[in-house]
Amino acid sequence: MTAETVTQQNTSTEATPSSTPTGSDHTEHVDFLVIGWGKGGKTLAGTMARAGKKVAVVEQSEMMIGGSCINIACIPTKILVHDAENKRADDDTDEYFAKAVKRRDTLTGAMRKKNHSMLADLDSVLLVGGRAEFTGEREIRVTGGADTMTITADTIVVNTGSVANIPPIDGAQLGGRIHDSESLQHVDPFPNRLVIVGGGYIGLEFGSMFAHFGSQVTVLDRGPRPLANEDDDVAEVVAQALADDGVTIVNDASVTAVNDGADAATVTYEVDGETKTIDAEAVLLAVGRKPATAELGLEKAGIDTDDRGFIVTDEYLRSSAEGVYAFGDVNGGPMFTYISLDDNRILADQLLGEGKRSTKDRGSVPYTMFLTPPVARVGLTEKAARDEGYEIKVGAKLQADIAAAPRAKIEGDPRGIVKFVVDAKTDLILGAALVHVHSQEVINTVALAMRHDVTATELCDTIYTHPSATEALNEVLGALK
C-alpha cells in the first residue's frame, strides 16, 4: 500500500482510513508509527512527515479519526452544553435536543474529515484502518476483517486513549436505557428523568447539561459532597448552582444494582444503611475511565502497565520497551487533550530538537468543568496549601458581589465565586478557583501568570478590558494588599 493510494481514497465526504491489503499478510517498515488517532499522536505524525520521515497511523474506527476530543469528548459535549444553556422555556424539548445532536454530528463530521486530510495529504504518511496488536519489539499486526498488515517501526507511540469504566454493579451493562458518556449524546427518546451514577467530572457536566435541556436529573454520588477536591466554600457555590438548575445530588449513595425494565430503568442504592430505588428513562454510568489497552498485546513488546492498566512512562514518556512511547490518557496522566498535545511537544523535542522538555516542565496546568457557570481551577486549594505548610493570604468573593466585573450580570448569570490562594511571603499565586461566566478563559491568564512568577499584585494591577470577566482579578486580588 502506498500513501498515494490512501490519498486517492479521500474523495468521499466521510473521512476513512485506508483499508489493509487484500490477501496474504503485507509488511511495511516506517520511521514513526502512531497507534490511535489522538491529539498528540496525530500532531507529531504530521510533524515527523514534514521532517521527511516515513510515518504510519493506525486507527481501528473511522468514527474516531481525529481522536476522542473531536468525536466523543471535548467538542461534541461542549456543543451540547452550549445549546442546552441557550434553550428557551417555550422550545419543544425533543425537537430542540434533536437539533442540538444534529449540529453536534455535523461539526464533528466536518472536523473528522479535516483531521483526515491533514495527514492524508502528506505524501509520506500511510493511513491504515484496523485493530493493532503488538507481535514483538516495535512490531504490530493490524487486522481489518480478514486482512492483515504487519508494520515495524523505529519509533512507536501508543495513543489509544481511554474508554468508560463500567462498574462491577449488578446489571450495569451498556445497552437499552443504560449509557456511558458517549452513547448518551445520542439518546433517543430524550429522557424526562435521568439518573447519573457517579458525581465526578463527567457526571456533573452531563447532569448540568441534561438539566438545561429539560431532564429531571438525579446524581448518585458515593462521596459526602460533590467536588471533593475543592474547598468547601467553592463546592458549596457549585452545588447550589446545580440545585438551582434542577440537579438533585444524593451524597453518600452506594449503588448496588441497575435494572433496565420494560417501562423504565431502576437504580437501587443505599444511603445510611437504607435501601432505596429510583426510576428513569435513562441511566448514565459515570464512574471514571480506564485505558484502551485491553487488546494491544503490550506484554508481547515488553511494555509495562500499572495496576489499573495504564502504560507506565518516565518523564520523557518512554515506556519500558525501547523506542515505544505513550501519549495522552493511556499513560495515566491528566485526561485532557491539551496534555496529549504537550506530550507531542516533549517527544518532538526528543526526536527533532534538543531533548530538554519533559513532563516535569509542566506547572500550573489548568482545567475547566463545563457546568453552568463553568468551574475552572489551577494550582493548590486553600486546604492543600495549608496542609503543605504555606503561610497564605486568601481572597474570595462571590461573583454577584464583585462590583468591578459586571460581565456576568450583563449575561444574566451572576452566580459563582472567585477565589485566590497567595503565598504571603512571596506574593506568588499558589492556586485559584474561578466559578463564573467565561472562567474557562480567565483561568488561562492566571495559569500563565503562575508559570512565569507574576505576583498577585502585578496581576491585580494589570489593565483589563471592560466589561470583561477578567476584571474580577482587580477587585479580588486588590483586597489582599
Q: Is 205 annotated as a binding residue?
A: yes
Pair 28, 150: CB distance under 8 Å:
yes
109 is in an annotated binding site: no
For residue 265, give the C-alpha cell: 430503568
Residue 36 among known ligand-binding residues: no
Q: Is 202 annotated as a binding residue?
A: yes
To the question of whether residue 68 is assigned a binding role by annotation, the answer is no
Find out whether 78 is annotated in a ligand binding site: yes
Is 161 a known ligand-binding residue? yes
Tell whether 95 is in a known binding site: no
Residue 71 parent element (H or E): helix 68-71
Q: Is 288 annotated as a binding residue?
A: yes
176 is in an annotated binding site: no
* Assigned C-alpha cell, 124: 509520506
CA angle 191, 194, 196 (to 5 degrees): 145
Question: Which of 432, 449, 459, 446 minimizes the C-alpha distance to 375?
Answer: 432
Q: What is the dihedral of CA 27, 32, 35, 36, to 10 degrees?
A: -130
Tell me if 478 sits within 8 A of 420, measured CB to CB.
no
Q: Is 316:358 a contact under the CB 8 Å cutoff?
A: yes
Q: For residue 162, say whether it is annotated as part of any ligand binding site.
A: yes
Rounded to 5 degrees, what angle do the CA atoms 292, 293, 298 make? 165
Provide the grid cell at 32.
Answer: 514513526
DSSP 339-398: HHHHHHHHHHHHHHS-S---GGG--S--EEE--SS-EEEEE--HHHHHHTT--EEEEEEE
Q: How far apart (Å, rounded) are the C-alpha atoms in residues 188 and 185?
A: 9
Catalytic machinery residues: 466
Binding residues for NAD(+), by number, are 198-205, 288
Binding residues for FAD: 78, 160-162, 329
Q: Binding site: what residues are annotated? A: 78, 160-162, 198-205, 288, 329
